[in-house]
């Protein structure tokens, strides 16, 4: 594999209206030239994603971001200087440069500069040779698991791509959970989705307390507004250590022979059975996040009857992981 060569191919494909799946520091994105309506519409078709779910626009520089925004508050400069390139998405009032389909009919636009070398190189090269604006949701079927590895992307959406599209293999997804989405369009800072950058990182840096965000009817669409999202095919149960013991015991009784179960927790549960495999989960939230989607993808391949995760601590360091687990579980 020659990465520079692959990026050159990917840029050509974007310029020709094809789709490119590429690694970012969070998860793989499925990208199209944001200025090309036909190409961006294909993203919605392939993902089976409702048309009113806006896409994040990825760029290589703050100057490029400013060009598609109507109102750029000072706070955006402060956040961008600190957290870009990186796993932070900012939502602004938009101007009319981007096609409507990218922003799902909203009057706002979500923008991010990724730090992953492969992603950033792709964006830089595409800025030289094309529009430079890459609309990209996570590279997975709507509602199902996000992907952090080339082969997971290939398995999940590969069949829907053509020879005019491309999947880039490159630097690893070092965060493993999606970006933190921060809304700056209303005058107040609101976190719409917890992610790679924690609420503490942001509030410590700005020296303010950030309220928890309650979804209400007026809220813009964020992933997981719909209750189920990020779902594995195998039923996943996320419960406390003690509840998990009771649950697994019940399942072992209900499926005395044919069931196969997997437990991922911070300590082993005191149950022994050939039907139950137990593995210790990372106790560090960053390490856990980095492994979450690849673990779930692997477990889906292993065809367990059910999988059981011990619920992580309920604090801000675990907020993004807890948010994904809540939506992914049965």
CA angle 189, 58, 321 (to 5 degrees): 60
Say how far apart CA 148 and CA 89 lie, in whole Å.
18
Say how far apart CA 179 and CA 79 lie, in whole Å.
14
CB atoms within 10 A of CB 133: 27
* Residue 324 C-beta: closest distance to ligand TXA, Å: 11
Any contact of residue 138 with Mg ion (CB under 5 A)?
yes
* Residue 138 C-beta: closest distance to Mg ion, Å: 3
Binding mask 279-318 for ligand TXA (x = CB under 6 A): ----------------------------------------
Any contact of residue 178 with ligand TXA (CB under 6 A)?
yes
Residues 6+ apart with CB under 8 A from 86: 25, 113, 114, 115, 196, 197
Judge contact between 278 and 244, C-beta under 8 A.
Answer: no
Binding mask 200-239 for Mg ion (x = CB under 5 A): -----------------------x----------------
Identify the CA nearest to 9 among candidates 236, 202, 142, 170.
170
Any contact of residue 40 with ligand TXA (CB under 6 A)?
no
Binding mask 70-109 for ligand TXA (x = CB under 6 A): -----------------x-x-x-----------x--x-xx
Identify the CA nearest to 311 among candidates 278, 265, 280, 270.
265
How is residue 55 annotated by DSSP?
Answer: P
* Residue 110 C-beta: closest distance to ligand TXA, Å: 3
Note the residues at the interface with Mg ion (CB under 5 A): 138, 223
Note the residues at the interface with ligand TXA (CB under 6 A): 24, 26-27, 29, 53-56, 87, 89, 91, 103, 106, 108-110, 112, 136-138, 178-179, 181, 192, 220-223
């Amino acid at each position: 594999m020659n990465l520079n060569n692959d990026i050159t191919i990917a840029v050509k494909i974007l310029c020709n209206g094809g789709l490119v799946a590429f690694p970012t520091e969070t998860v793989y994105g499925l990208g199209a030239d944001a200025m090309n309506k036909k190409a961006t519409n294909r993203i919605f078709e392939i993902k089976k994603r409702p048309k009113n779910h806006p896409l994040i626009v990825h760029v290589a520089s703050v100057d490029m971001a400013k060009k598609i925004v109507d109102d750029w508050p000072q706070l955006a400069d402060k956040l961008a200087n600190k957290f870009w390139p990186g796993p932070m998405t900012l939502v602004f009032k938009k101007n009319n440069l981007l096609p409507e389909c990218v922003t799902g009919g909203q009057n706002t636009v979500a923008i991010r500069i990724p730090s992953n070398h492969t992603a950033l190189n792709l964006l830089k090269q595409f800025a030289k040779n094309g529009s430079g604006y890459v609309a990209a949701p996570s590279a997975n079927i709507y509602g199902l698991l996000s992907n952090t590895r080339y082969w997971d992307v290939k398995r999940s959406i590969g069949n829907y791509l053509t020879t005019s599209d491309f999947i880039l293999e490159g630097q690893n997804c070092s965060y493993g959970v999606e970006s933190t989405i921060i809304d700056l369009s209303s005058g107040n800072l609101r976190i719409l989705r917890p992610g790679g950058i924690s609420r503490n990182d942001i509030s410590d840096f700005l020296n303010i307390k950030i309220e928890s965000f309650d979804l209400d009817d007026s809220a813009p669409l964020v992933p997981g507004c719909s209750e189920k999202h990020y779902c594995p095919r195998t039923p996943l149960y996320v419960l406390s250590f003690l509840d998990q013991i009771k649950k697994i015991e019940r399942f072992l009784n209900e499926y005395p022979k044919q069931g196969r179960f997997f437990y991922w927790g911070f300590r082993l549960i005191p149950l022994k059975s050939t039907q139950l495999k137990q593995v210790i989960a990372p106790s560090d939230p960053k390490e856990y996040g980095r492994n979450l989607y690849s673990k779930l993808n692997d477990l889906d391949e292993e065809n367990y009857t059910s999988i059981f995760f011990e619920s992580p601590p309920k604090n801000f360091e675990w907020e993004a992981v807890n948010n994904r687990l809540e939506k992914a579980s049965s």
